[in-house]
Chain A
Amino acid sequence: MTMCAAPAASPLVRVQTLHRGMVEVPEQDLITFVSPLLGFEHLKRFLIYQTQPGPMVWLQSVEDPAAAFCLLDPFAAGLDPDMEIAPSDLADIGAGSANEVTVYTVLVLDKDPAQIRTNLRAPILVGKLTQRAKQVVLNDQSLPIRFHLRDAKSRR
């Protein structure tokens, strides 16, 4: 298993993934949640990786191989939600500005394609320079917790 871009400095760690088996990554690539993913309070360290180009990534728990989530970059996916990130949230993940943050939303991949949805109300913020992350709950009630992707095209 090879990495696309392997920084030299950091020691390699082994991570058991749900979709790609055992992989080795530089330790500095691991993400640390500074406040928990709601409902998964016991999980702290994750690997974010991709298995195909595009706006979807896997959020794989290091501690629990069975805990993996599919995340969406809602901006790359053209959903263009208006999200106002609080300065205290930026500070929590060590980001100086919104430019230093990658925003993901949690995808629910329901068996029924009409039910495939993403949570625009509670995005996951990852500090690009710090690899620190948190799930925030935005105050904006116009952002749906269940945004169905089948509505994505009509939204534009």
Chain B
Amino acid sequence: MLVLARRPNEQLVINGEIIVTVLGVGRNGQVRLGITAPPHVQIFRHELWLEIQAENRQAATPTQAGVDAALGQLLLRAPAPTVPAFDQE
């Protein structure tokens, strides 16, 4: 990990296209950052990232019983997606 000391209003450049500015440091220790980046660069709080990872992991390997339970909770409406279908075994 690269560790740099920066003061308010000082900046970092990442990969020539992302600029991180230290906007200020609050008395509570909270650091305010400003980030400018091209539209294809996604920037999120790490907590959000971890939360979505955790939801995906929980979603893996579901059972048919779970599908039936979920269907019972939905009001269905056409049209549903068109994807390959396999008959019941």
Contacts and interface: CB of A to CB of B under 8 A. Distances in A.
B70 A56 contact: yes
Interface stretch (B6-14, B16-24, B26-34, B79-87): B79-87
A56 B73 CA distance: 12
A73 B80 contact: yes
Contact of B77 (A5, A76, A146): A76
Interface of B: 39-40, 42, 44, 48-49, 51-64, 66-67, 69-81, 83-89
Do most interface residues of chain B lie in helix, strand or loop, or is the interface mixed? loop
Contacts of A119: 52, 55-56, 59
Contacts of A50: 81, 83-86
Interface string A1-42: 111110000000000001111010100010000000111100
Nearest to B81: A73
B61 A51 contact: no
A54 B71 contact: yes
Contacts of B52: 38-39, 119, 121-122, 135, 137, 145
A109 B75 contact: no
A21 B89 contact: yes
Given A5-B84, A107-B70, A54 B76 contact: yes
B80 A53 contact: yes
